[in-house]
Structure formats: C-alpha cells, structure tokens
Amino acid sequence: MDELVALCKRRGFIFQSNEIYGGLQGLYDYGPLGVELKNNLKNSWWKATVYNRDDVEGLDTSILTHPDVLKYSGHQETFTDPLVDCKSCGLRFRQDQIPDQCKGEELTDPREFNLMFETNVGPVINESSTAYLRPETAQQIYINFKNVVDSTSRSLPFGIAQIGKSFRNEITPRNFIFRVREFEQMELEFFVLPGDDDEWHKKWVDNRVEWWIKQGIPKEKLQLLNVTGEDLAHYSKATIDIMYQFPHGLEELEGIANRTDFDLGSHTKNQKDLNISASVMKNSDSNTRLAIQNEKNEWIVPYVIEPSAGVDRGVLAVLNEAFTLERLDDSKHRVVLKLEKHLSPIKAATIPLKRNNDNLVQLAHKIKSSLQKYQIGRVVVENTGNIGKSYRKHDEIGTPLCITIDFDSLDKNTVTIRDRDSMNQDIIPLDNVEKYFLDYYSDAK
C-alpha cells in the first residue's frame, strides 16, 4: 500500500485533499492521471450497464437531499455506526475498528453516531431548511421512479443507473481511498416483478463479477460473501458482497442487494392500497404513487435488485492489481502499471528523440493530433528529451504505447512503437500509425 500511495502522489494520480492547510481527514483529490483513470472506470461501468443493454436508463440527480427522503428511507433513524471513546487517549473509534494500542484500554459504552452530513438550504437557517448530503446515490433514483417510467414508457424489468458523489461522516476513515468521507458510487436499481427477484439477483451477481474481471481483477482475488444475520440491512432479503483482497485485507468492493419493495414502498403514497410486502414506515408526505401497472392494469410495487459499487474502491483495486515490480535481464527492476488498456490514463505518448530538434518535435505533435482526433482517450507529447526516462515514466503510469520519433522518421518515414508489457519495439511506416493505434484499441473493453 505504501508503495502504491507514493506512486499515486509522485505521478499525479491521487493527492491528500486540502494538504497545504494541513489536510482534511478522509478526503482525497484525483490528480491529472487519477481523473483519467477514474473517468475510464466510470465510463466502462456506464457502457456495460446502460449502453450495452436495452433495459437500463441513466440519471444524474441532486446531491442535496430533502430530509423526508432520508426519513422514509430509514437513514435518519438507522444510518449509524456504534462509536466508542478510548478513555486513555481520548480518540474515537468505530466499535468494530478499535486499533490494537487501545484494545486493552478502558472504553466508553458504544453510542450510535449518524453518518450523514447535515446542511441548510437557503438564507434562513432553521429546522425547515435542513437538508443532507446524500449518503448513497440510490434514494434519488427511487424518488425519480415515476418521472423515468412516464418519460420512457418502460415496463418491468428495467433499471435506472447513476454515478455520483456520496458522503458519509465515517468515524475512522482509513486505508487510503478505501474508506473516505466523500466518495463516488456506481449504482443500479433494477426493478423486477416480485417473484422474479431471486433469479435477477443471481444474474446481477454474475454480471458484476464478470465486469470486475474485465477491469483486470483476477477471479481468484474476488470472493462472494453471503451477508447474514446482524450484518444484513433491515431492508434486504439477501445481499451478496463482492469481496476483494485489498492491500490491507479482504474487504467489500461492491454489494448486491435484493431490497424487495422496501424502497418504492417506503416512498410511495397510498401505501395501504398497494400490497407492500416489506415493513415500511407509514408515509403521509409523499405526493406520488411509485408503482407500475401490469397487463391486467393492477398496480404493483416492483422489487429492486441493487448492485452498488464504490468508484474509489474500484480505483484502488485496479491500481493494486496493475502495480508490478518487474525484474529485468540485467538485474535491474522496473515498475510497470499493467492497467487494462481501456483504463490507462494516457493511451499513447509520442516521444521526439531530441527535445530541441524542431522537426522531430513538430512531427511528434502532428502524430499526437492525428491520434487524438479519434477521442479514444488522452494522447500526449512527451518531450523530456531522455528516451529512457520517458519509457520509465510511461511504464509507471501504465501507458500502453510509446511512439518514438527519431531521425529515421524524418529520412525514412518510420516510427518505433514500444509495447508497455512486452517492451517489444515495432518499426512501422508513419502512414500506418493511425491504423496501428485503432487496431490496438479496437478490442478495448
């Protein structure tokens, strides 16, 4: 983990947030390469979840959330962690995350701490101006259920997907970007007919495991955990967590829950006419029926299957898998980030052999533009003037292709393309560079 954190800072993937003023705990900023990697991961999820299917719509909702949403969802009451104080050092911990040095010390009795960030909307600060930063993206999907159904004429089964920020005032944020206070989620709420839920739950677990494998996580590093007993959320009929062997241990990467009709049932009006199976709080505030009509024109509250993945935990997992220290023939080492090509922050670097030679530099810019126009991702001109250093840098940041422009490029119209993983170098005609690049990325996931 330490090596990974150091690389992330040195190369501009991830920085401690607010660092020049001492930092704010549990927050991180994504740098020039981090933002590309993160966007690539999110795009891959969006393509797999929305574009490549015919049964999912997208959504992007507000972060500030009406208190009633979080009242009826149960968050105001139950979105808490048990907190204890160490009487020796005075620090506070989540009851299940007490560090070793405080384990033998006297601790206070646990008390419940609500993880939501509260704020006020508008110029008057009083009880009726209270709002929350959403603790998950899901709730606003349920709230928009009727809007989406009415505007798209969807029938069951279908899903609504959203990627966005969520906020949790974690008692003990830790392990780099694994547990933070501001993070992003990729959530799908997939609405099905009651009775079809078990089958869809299984399908989504399989689907999500496949997707993680495509992001470069080997199957053997993933484990499915059937959540039971106290750990099972009150709304859930069944939850399978996809666990990944993070540098600090086996932990949750994504959860896939069968939330039954709890959510729509909690937020709908006319609850008593709708035959809701989940135990929901009586709702006297909602002005909308969150249900759908079947062929017999009966109103049904759909069940929901929810695959909910953390973007930041995903970034940490793919970085951890990609990070490779490779021994070279001459007993030297190289660090190489073997990211899947669709995730690489830089798709290709064009490198003029001499930084001061205008002809080489101009040609490098020309090739860069000719590749950039396909918008497969970012292409850069790497003009540091030291070819060895340039290769080392692009190995470390996971650039799959380095295109070197040398004097043969001017005399014989050829360039050298170096492959990150094999380090093989192909000399190809200048005219073939675009095709080579397009062929290379044609099977990107």
CA distance 108 to 106: 7
Q: Which string of x and - marks every residue 161-200 that binds ligand ATP (by CB under 6 A)?
A: -------x-x--------xx--x-x---------------
Single-letter amino acid code for the residue at 131: A
Q: How far is the CB of 71 from ligand ATP (least distance, A)?
A: 18
Among 34, 164, 216, 255, binds ligand ATP (CB under 6 A): 255
Strand partners, 224: 242
Beta carbon nearer to ligand ATP, 40 or 414: 40
Instruction: Kindly state the number of chain residues that form the binding site for ligand ATP, as judged by CB under 6 A.
Output: 16
Q: Which string of x and - marks every residue 278-297 that binds ligand ATP (by CB under 6 A)?
A: --------------------
Q: What is the DSSP string of 362-389?
A: HHHHHHHHHHHTT-SSEEEE---S-HHH
Q: How far is the CB of 433 from ligand ATP (least distance, A)?
A: 39
Q: Tell me which residue has its CB nearest to ligand ATP.
A: 310
Among 265, 310, 377, 398, binds ligand ATP (CB under 6 A): 310
> What does the DSSP 8-state code read for residue 127?
G
Residue 381 dihedral angles phi and psi, to the nearest 5°: -95, 125
Is 252 near ligand ATP (CB under 6 A)?
yes
Q: Which string of x and - marks every residue 359-388 that binds ligand ATP (by CB under 6 A)?
A: ------------------------------
CA distance 386 to 380: 16
Is 254 near ligand ATP (CB under 6 A)?
yes
Beta carbon nearer to ligand ATP, 251 or 408: 251
Beta carbon nearer to ligand ATP, 161 or 309: 309
Q: How far is the CB of 408 from ligand ATP (least distance, A)?
A: 49
Q: Mapping DSSP to helix (H, G, I), strand (E, B) and coil, where does residue 9 land? A: helix
Q: How far is the CB of 81 from ligand ATP (least distance, A)?
A: 8
Pick the stretch among 122-130, 302-310, 318-326, 373-381 that binds ligand ATP (CB under 6 A): 302-310
Nearest to 245 by CA among 213, 224, 221: 221
Pick the stretch among 139-147, 153-161, 306-314, 365-373 that binds ligand ATP (CB under 6 A): 306-314
The CA-based dihedral angle spanning residues 350, 343, 310, 313, taken in that order and rounded to the nearest 10 degrees = -70
> What does the DSSP 8-state code read for residue 123?
S
444 neighbors 342 (Cβ within 8 angstroms): yes
CA separation (Å) from 165 to 60, 214, 308, 356, 432? 10, 24, 13, 44, 42
Is 312 near ligand ATP (CB under 6 A)?
yes
Pick the stretch among 264-272, 290-298, 309-317, 359-367 that binds ligand ATP (CB under 6 A): 309-317
Q: Cα–Cα–Cα angle for 318, 319, 325, nearest 5°?
A: 125
CA distance 385 to 401: 18
Q: How far is the CB of 82 from ligand ATP (least distance, A)?
A: 13
Beta carbon nearer to ligand ATP, 168 or 341: 168
CA distance 183 to 359: 46
Beta carbon nearer to ligand ATP, 168 or 394: 168
Instruction: Using the CB atoms, write b or e for 284-303: b if 16+ within 10 Å.
Output: eebeebbbbeeeeeeebbbb
Q: How far is the CB of 392 from ligand ATP (least distance, A)?
A: 32
Say if residue 189 is exposed, middle or buried (CB neighbours under 10 Å; 0-12, 13-18, 19+): buried
Taking CB under 6 A as the criterion, which residues in 72-111 touch ligand ATP?
none
> Which residues bind to ligand ATP, rule: CB under 6 A?
136, 168, 170, 179-180, 183, 185, 252-255, 308-310, 312-313
